[in-house]
Amino acid sequence: MGKNLADYRRNYTKGKLLEFEISSNPYQLFTNWFEEMEAQKDQHEVNAMTVSTIGDDGFPKSRVVLLKEYSEDGFIFYTNYTSEKGLAIAKNPQVCISFFWPTLERQVIIKGLAERSSEEKAEEYFRSRPKGSQLGAWASNQSSKIESREVLERKLEELEAKFNGKEIPKPQFWGGYLVRPVSIEFWQGRESRLHDRILFEKDENSWSYKRLAP
């Protein structure tokens, strides 16, 4: 069983990324691109990003999560600290996060060091979540083996009864990660596969950038 995908191709023509047009601050360029994506019609989860970690088995693993905040400090997402990604980060905080925005034929690839965000920030975000999402954080021992879907649903029902009419506290095993970038690469699709790639690298407290061959 197989399929030849050689004819799956398109020519990228929607933009360009030239040095004289960009900010020397990669966060400003990221903000510009993010806001341009938000302005596109019928876009869903513009903040979806891929997080890649290295596990005990030596293999990288990637999964899509949602970016919940960004600033010049870095990029924040939330998860279960005892999940596969949480345990991987605890042992090796070097991660890669990436955004793919096909509508504008763009990618952003960020290498950085992940650290837990503050409990105060995690508490604030947890309280802003819908009740179902709050209960879901309690119900799921993320990445662990479960016997069936029914086990998970029964756990949720028990939690709904337990917290009925009550404020749901944030689990201690759940919170945020702040990824502090050491490099940010901006990729803009161009014709004939001659894409624009601008790589920002951090040296102490300043950023420099260079163009990479496609």
User: Domain map of the chain by residue range?
Assistant: 19-126+173-212
In whole angstroms, what separates CA 105 from the centre of its chain?
18
Active site residue 10: no
In whole angstroms, what separates CA 68 from the centre of its chain?
9
- For 162, half-sphere exposure in the C-beta direction (CA atoms, 13 angstrom radius) is 11
For each successive 10 residues of the chain (214 residues), what is the average pLDDT?
Answer: 88 94 94 96 93 96 98 97 97 98 97 97 96 93 88 92 94 97 98 96 93 98
Contacts made by residues 44-50, CB under 8 angstroms, sequence distance 24+: 46/101, 48/99, 49/75, 49/77, 49/97, 49/98, 49/99, 50/97, 50/98, 50/99, 50/100
> Can you tell me the distance from the alpha carbon of 179 to that of 71, in angstroms, rounded to the nearest whole number?
11
19-126+173-212 CATH choice from 2.60.40.2130, 2.60.40.10, 2.30.110.10, 1.10.390.10 = 2.30.110.10
pLDDT number for residue 136: 92
pLDDT number for residue 78: 98
pLDDT number for residue 137: 94
Q: Which of 63, 193, 197, 211 is catalytic?
A: 193
Six-digit token pair at 45? 């989860």
pLDDT number for residue 10: 87
Instruction: Using a cut of 0.85, tell me whether the model's pTM lies above it.
Output: yes
Six-digit token pair at 177? 């990660």
